[in-house]
């Protein structure tokens, strides 16, 4: 297995591995790489839906996403799809998945199934590099804080997606979510400090209202994207990306109107987070 950085502080491309066959030491090496760099891209993969599910089970547990459509034959697989006549895409703003769960998903394995002729890249940002770049004053201000996360304003019947042409495709509108997490977590495996608030799902600091929280939250959201902590995954047929939701944020670019894009996602279970 060989890794090449996608950018100085975020992401790697991994060569010399077929995920469908990876297990044992190779799987351990893949895990460590993803925990550290946040996202890994694997090219030219021969990776059927069955391979996708089997690999995810070798990694650990699968969390079924509550909102995205599921693949008819394979309910472990969520379908991240934009049709040619749709305006809205899934994941088209900076976020990290499932932070609204008290035990958030570790990450996802996203497989390119149908790609637009161009565009549809995914951006990632490394939250360890983001934390490191905060000023000492800001680090001191957020030390020990906890924040509340929910997805209700995104997926509920009067939420963000319901107002769009993606609304009718989504499931789970009746669900209620909510979790509190430290604003700075330690990665459960690397021990690195990570900024763990995100633009999509973090609402307020515990003990403060939304209004009271917004100035500091917005300061952190702005600081989370530094000049050099991002990388871009350009998809091609056979590309698979695996990311760590604790280490990164991601943002699916919506720049391919009139074309279909369909990705298969399996969400990997995570562990409780701690400061």
149 binds, among ligand OGA, Mn ion, none (CB under 5 to 8 A by kind): none
Q: Which C-beta is closer to Mn ion: that of 3 or that of 177?
A: 177
Q: Which of 66, 77, 81, 91 binds Mn ion (CB under 5 A)?
A: 91
Q: Looking at 52, 95, 246, 264, which residue is catalytic? A: 95
Q: Are strands 39-42 and 240-244 parallel, antiparallel or unpaired?
A: antiparallel
Contacts with 271 (C-beta within 8 Å, 6 or more apart), sequence order: 103, 106, 188
Contacts with 131 (C-beta within 8 Å, 6 or more apart), sequence order: 139, 184, 193, 194, 195
DSSP 8-state secondary structure symbol assigned to residue 268: E
Could you confirm whether 259 is annotated as catalytic?
no
Q: How far apart are CA 272 and CA 102, in angstroms?
A: 7
Is residue 120 a contact point for Mn ion (CB under 5 A)?
no
Q: How far apart are CA 139 and CA 125, in angstroms?
A: 19
**Greatest C-alpha distance within the chain:** 52
Q: Which C-beta is closer to Mn ion: that of 31 or that of 265?
A: 265
Q: How far apart are CA 250 and CA 114, in angstroms?
A: 20
Q: Looking at 31, 81, 192, 250, which residue is catalytic? A: 250
- Is 229 within 8 Å of 133 (Cβ atoms)? yes
Q: Which C-beta is closer to Mn ion: that of 91 or that of 107?
A: 91
Which residues of the chain form contacts with ligand OGA (CB under 6 A)? Answer: 80, 90-91, 97, 108, 110, 122, 250, 252, 263, 265
Could you confirm whether 97 is annotated as catalytic?
yes
Could you confirm whether 37 is annotated as catalytic?
no
Q: Which C-beta is closer to ligand OGA: that of 26 or that of 160?
A: 160
Question: Which residue from 125, 138, 265 is spatially nearest to 198, judged by alpha carbons?
Answer: 125
| Full DSSP string of 152-174 | HHHHSTTSTGGGSTTGGG---TT
Q: Which C-beta is closer to Mn ion: that of 91 or that of 182?
A: 91
Is residue 244 a contact point for Mn ion (CB under 5 A)?
no
Is residue 97 a contact point for Mn ion (CB under 5 A)?
yes
110 binds, among Mn ion, ligand OGA, none (CB under 5 to 8 A by kind): ligand OGA
To ligand OGA, the closest distance from the beta carbon of 28 in angstroms equals: 24
80 binds, among Mn ion, ligand OGA, none (CB under 5 to 8 A by kind): ligand OGA
Could you confirm whether 250 is annotated as catalytic?
yes
Q: Nearest 5°: CA angle at 257, between 5 and 67?
A: 75
182 binds, among ligand OGA, Mn ion, none (CB under 5 to 8 A by kind): none
Q: Active-site residue numbers?
A: 95, 97, 250, 265
Chain residues that interact with Mn ion, rule: CB under 5 A: 91, 97
């Amino acid at each position: 297995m060989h890794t090449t950085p996608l950018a100085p502080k975020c992401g790697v491309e991994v060569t010399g591995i077929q995920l469908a066959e990876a297990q044992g030491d190779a799987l351990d090496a893949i895990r460590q790489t993803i925990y550290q760099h946040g996202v890994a891209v694997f090219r030219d993969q021969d990776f059927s839906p069955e391979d996708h599910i089997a690999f995810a089970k070798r990694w650990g547990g699968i969390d079924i996403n509550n909102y995205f459509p599921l693949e008819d034959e394979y309910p472990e697989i969520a379908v991240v799809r934009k049709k040619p006549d749709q305006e809205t895409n899934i994941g088209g703003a900076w976020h990290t998945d499932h932070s609204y769960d008290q035990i958030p998903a570790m990450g996802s394995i996203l497989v390119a199934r149908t790609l637009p002729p161009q565009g549809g890249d995914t951006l990632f940002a490394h939250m360890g590099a983001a934390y490191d770049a905060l000023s000492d004053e800001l680090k001191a201000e957020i030390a020990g804080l906890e924040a509340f996360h929910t997805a209700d304003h995104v997926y509920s019947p009067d939420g963000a997606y319901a107002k769009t042409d993606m609304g009718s495709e989504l499931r789970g509108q009746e669900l209620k979510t909510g979790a509190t997490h430290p604003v700075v977590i330690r990665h459960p495996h690397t021990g690195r400090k990570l900024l763990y608030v995100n633009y999509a799902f973090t609402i307020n600091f515990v003990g403060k209202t939304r209004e009271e929280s917004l100035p500091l939250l917005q300061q952190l959201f702005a600081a989370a994207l530094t000049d050099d902590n991002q990388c871009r995954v350009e998809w091609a047929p056979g590309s698979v990306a695996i990311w760590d939701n604790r280490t990164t944020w991601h943002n699916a670019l919506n720049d391919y109107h009139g074309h279909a894009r369909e990705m298969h996602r399996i969400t990997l279970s995570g562990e409780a987070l701690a400061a």
